[in-house]
Amino acid sequence: MADMYPTISPTVPLNSMYPDAIKDPIDLRDQLNIILFGGEGESAKGHWIVYRRMDLTQHSEYWNSETREAVGGPPWEYEDTIVRTRSVIGRAAGLMSDMEQYSDVGIINTTYSTYYFEYDLNPKKEDEIYEMVDEMDVVRSTKPILIDLPYKIRYVIRDAIPYRCDDGGRIEYWACICRRDVVE
């Protein structure tokens, strides 16, 4: 009598989620890199942003321990780096669609956006993303050099979602849902 519940599939090895017929599965890390930086015959669709990683274990010089608030700057120590990303403007869905309002032509008024990052960034909630006034302010190189930039729009990460779609559950890329704040 044949075993109705085999413990090992004869066609798929235990270390892969792909059948033997698929020799070259899609590598999502490579695909996101092509989207961000471009590739053969593909134009780059990413842009540079300033990523501010907050250290929630250390208060900054702006922290006032008596009033328990920050005055003149962020409450936490932080480190700024320039990273390449792809962003998508947030869209209202479901019950939120009743709250949509019309805007003038060319004006996009939204509070949330989704940013996509490469697998090694490890973003976390409460980190910040700064859009630059003009991306041409960045000194061009393989990885731009951070110079004194005027920031215009800040996004605070509300949720950082790792996408694990490949063999062994490795992180392929990050999607961060961010709330928009205007910096003056």
The reported pLDDT for the residue numbered 109 is: 59
**Tens digit of each residue's pLDDT (9 = 90 or more) over 113-136:** 899 999 999 999 989 998 876 555
Domains: count for the chain: 1
Query: Residue type for 172, please?
Result: E
| Dihedral class, residue 68 (left if φ above 0, else alpha if ψ from -120 to 50, else beta) | left
Is residue 78 situated within a structural domain?
Answer: no
Residue 7 lies in a domain: no
Domain hosting residue 152, numbered range: 33-52+84-91+109-182
Q: What is the pLDDT of residues 55-99, one digit of tens each?
A: 999 999 999 999 999 888 889 899 988 889 999 887 544 444 444
Residue 97 counted as domain residue: no
Predicted TM-score of the model (pTM): 0.71
Please name the residues in contact with 24: beta carbons below 8 A apart, sequence gap of 6 or more.
none
